[in-house]
Chain A
Amino acid sequence: DAGVIQSPRHEVTEMGQEVTLRCKPISGHNSLFWYRQTMMRGLELLIYFNNNVPIDDSGMPEDRFSAKMPNASFSTLKIQPSEPRDSAVYFCASSLGANVLTFGAGSRLTVL
């Protein structure tokens, strides 16, 4: 298995632009998580899906952030409009039932 695949690995954009991060979970996993990592706040859970349904989005910072999971093999995290304070590494992870999370390599976002 190729593991959890995230794209892009690096994104540099200007304030106000729309950013879309993509994630392909491990085949057969039924839970998908989006985390954000910053120096100040560490790893924060933004949202997680179970069987493609959003279960808990209480970590999504504000309405500028949205996440979708249209099918079991694809998820997106969108920021519109982006702001400099959104600069971070965004991780996607997947799991099967109560098993452990497998993380992708992350998407490093820089908003100028």
Chain B
Amino acid sequence: AQSVTQPDIHITVSEGASLELRCNYSYGATPYLFWYVQSPGQGLQLLLKYFSGDTLVQGIKGFEAEFKRSQSSFNLRKPSVHWSDAAEYFCAVGARGSGGSNYKLTFGKGTLLTVNP
């Protein structure tokens, strides 16, 4: 069964500083990897995804993530954080479901990002 570990429960950064959120996964085949963001009281919004190809993927809001198979990691980065980036971030790994071409996602426990002015 697949699993996701996000080692950092809470991270605080200053506005304008760079950001890296860690994600490690466990899955027996080529993973399908995702980062979602959740603002308070809201549902989850997709930031970016990796299915195949270039291991550095670009997402919305200036985020990027790099897939490193040797380290089983898919860390999320942003060069300069804005106050509006404060939210909870979830990494997820997708596995092909028994229904055929659809995928069920297993999520990490999330990393809460606080941005100081």
Q: Which residues of A contact B (CB under 8 A)?
A: 4, 30-31, 33, 42-43, 45, 48, 50-51, 53, 55-56, 91, 93, 95, 97-98, 100-106
Contacts and interface: CB of A to CB of B under 8 A. Distances in A.
A56 B90 contact: no
Nearest to B48: A100
A100 B46 contact: yes
A97 B44 contact: no
Contact of A55 (B34, B49, B99): B99
Contacts of B109: 42
B102 interface: yes
B30 interface: no
A105 B102 contact: no
B39 to A, nearest CB: 10
A97 B101 contact: yes
Nearest to B108: A42
A22 to B, nearest CB: 15
B43 interface: yes
A33 B46 CA distance: 16
Interface residues of B, number: 25
A100 B104 contact: no
Interface of B: 32, 34, 36, 41-46, 49, 90, 97-110
Contact of B97 (A55, A100, A103): A55
Contacts of B100: 50
A43 to B, nearest CB: 4
B111 to A, nearest CB: 11
A102 B106 CA distance: 15
Among the interface residues B42, B98, B99, which one has the most CB atoms of the partner chain A within 10 A? B99
B102 A91 contact: no
Contact of A45 (B44, B101, B102, B105): B105
Among the interface residues A30, A55, A98, A100, which one has the most CB atoms of the partner chain B within 10 A? A100
Contacts of A53: 99
B43 A48 contact: no
A43 B101 contact: no
A23 B45 CA distance: 17
Among the interface residues B34, B41, B44, B90, which one has the most CB atoms of the partner chain A within 10 A? B44
